Structures are given as structure tokens and as C-alpha cells.
A = this chain, B = another copy of it.
Amino acid sequence: MAIQNPNIAVIGATGAVGKVFLDLVEERNFPFNSIRLCASERSEGKQITLKGKPITVELVTEKLLSEVDMVFVSASTKVSKEICPKAASMGCIVIDDSSAFRLEPSVPLVVPEVNKIDLKNHEGIIAIPNCSTTPLVMVLNALRTIAPISRVTVDTYQSVSGTGTAAVTELKEQTANIVNNKSPEVSVYPHQIGFNLLPHIEDFLSNGYTKEEMKMSNETRKILHDDEINISATCVRVPVFTSHSESAHIEFDGPIDIETARKVLGSAEGIKVLDNPGKNIYPMPLVSTGQDEVFVGRLREDISKQNSIALWMVSDNLRKGAALNAIQIAEELIKMD
């Protein structure tokens, strides 16, 4: 298999993540021999320009999969369930953005800055975490070098691009209608998102949490190889286009001082500390959108409990939360080959 100079297929190339992925292919000069762009029938035949050359969007077929070495999938969970095992069985390396395989024991769930070592054991499919898990797990992985982490409560402020381009359009249209005193149309979400908040991301489960909230708990445990870490999340959709924000309260099994935490976060790969509140410097969606790093600020000792800290993090859900993480995994595989 040609890992060093692969033939690539991008499934979901016209979606919100797919577009960013192609930007990153150019930006990072990701090495490939050929690239095939796939999407649903709605986009079939469209032309996308990559590195100055037009590429025609195709449907994914068995023949196409037989002609590539590496497949990036960012479509629906249903599409992933269908495509990924097929591509893997045909010898492709599949990097999947869906939740379909994340908790499968045979599938590495990887954030390269945290657990690239897990890439050694893949059997064809490699999963990337949910876009709200990735920044959290990067921050926790850095901090647990100071003391073991026992518990985290975390509340999210998630942008609509996490849902997809239709949600981005809906927020824009609803907002335009509202500021023009017209009534907003509701279609993607169960309620209006313009100037509103929805404490509802993905389906509700019998324990009262949503799937999205449980992902933050289960995926974090898997990535950190730590089943003792207790995480309670509330995930909220906010009227922001891009970047997910998270407010976390982190409890440690041992002393932690804020300057050590700052130093550890500041030197962690992929994290940038933005924390000078006196000068109004802190992470915001406006700052992180289009950037690769997870931005961390509002760092402080948690006044409600010993050995605890509170912090605020923001990262681009389409980049580190999805496309960037996927391409970084591919780059690691090339390095490891």
C-alpha cells in the first residue's frame, strides 16, 4: 500500500468538514498521488478546484475504493457504517469522523497530540473523536501530568457548523429574518437557533444525557486509557457559526497550582494559552476560527474545591475538531511507515 504518496478518496468532500479538509490539504501540502472527491447524488458532477486543478465530484463506488489507498470519511454515521468496513476490507486505511466505530475496541480513537501510539494497532479503520471531545481531551492530557484527574464538569457552547452547512445557512437566514422583523423559518433544529440556545445536541438517552454528552465522557476515557476519570457534560447549541467553546471545572487527586497548570498547558503541543483578562484577552470563537490550536484561558484555582481548577477553552470545530485531526493522523501514519 502506497502510504507515502497515497491515492486518496475524500467522502463528504462538499460538506462543512470536507471543505476545510481540502483547504488543509493545500495549506499543509499534504502529499498524495491522486485525490478523488466523493459526495452524495446532489453534488455529483460538481467541480471543486484543488491546487489550481478542477476535480469532478463522484459518487463513492466499490471500483473507486479499489483504486485508492487512504479514505477520509466525514459524512453521516449511516454512510460511515456502510463505507468504512468495505474500504478497510479492500486494504484501504480509513480515517473516519463519525461516531460509528469510535468505541469499537479494534478501532483506535486518536488525537495525535495525546495518543498517536494507538495508531500502531489499527486494523484499517481509525476514528477521530467528536468535535467537543478533542479540545477537552487535549487539555486534560496536558494537565494530568501534574496530578491525576478525578472528575470534570464541563458545559459546552457549540457552534452550528458542527451540525453541517444546512445549519449554517439556517442560522444566517433566521438571523437576517429576525433583524428585519420577519419570522424565522425552523427546519434543521427542532427550535429556532437565531438569538436562542438549545440544550440539546444529538438524541436523548435513558440516563437523561444526550449522545453528545456521553461521547465526551466515553471517548475521553478511551483516548486517555483511563476508566477512572469521571466526566459530566451538558452540551448546548449556541448561535455562533464556527468554533466550540467549553467551560470546565477540573478536580485533581493531588495538589495543583495555577502557575504549573499554565506552564504545562503553554508547552503542550496544539494548545495555546490566551489568558490576559486584564487586557481583555481570552479565547473566543472569533479568535479561534480558522486557527489550528485549542485556545485556553480564564485559568484559575477553583474556589469551590481544593485541588481543582476552572478554565475556558475554544477551538475550531471544523479544524482541530474534525478535518485537521484527520489529516494529522494521516501525517503520523506517513511518518510511522
In chain A between 282 and 337, which residues have their CB closer than 8 angstroms to a CB of chain B? 282-286, 297-305, 308, 310, 312, 314
**Size bracket, chain A contacts:** 35 or more
Contact B153 A304, beta carbon cutoff 8 Å: yes
Question: Which residues of the partner chain B approach A172 to less than 8 Å between Cβ atoms?
Answer: 179
Q: Tell yes or no: A175 within 8 A of B by CB.
A: yes
Give how many copies assemble into the complex: 2
* Nearest-neighbor residue (CB-CB) of A280 within chain B: B190
A103-127 vs B: 1/0 string, CB under 8 Å?
A: 0000000000000000000000000
A190: chain B residues at CB < 8 Å are 280
CA distance A175 to B245 in the complex (A): 20
Listed stretches A69-77, A136-144, A233-241; interface member = A233-241
Chain B residue with Cβ nearest A235: B247
Given A179-B172, A207-B300, A207-B301, verify A199-B234 contact (CB < 8 Å). no
| List of B residues within 8 angstroms of A209 by Cβ | 300, 303
A280 engages B238 (CB within 8 Å) = no
Write the residues of chain A forming the contact surface with B, with a CB cutoff of 8 angstroms: 151-153, 155, 157, 172, 175-176, 179-180, 190-192, 195-200, 204, 207-210, 217, 230-232, 234, 236, 238-241, 245, 247, 249, 258, 277-278, 280, 282-286, 297-305, 308, 310, 312, 314
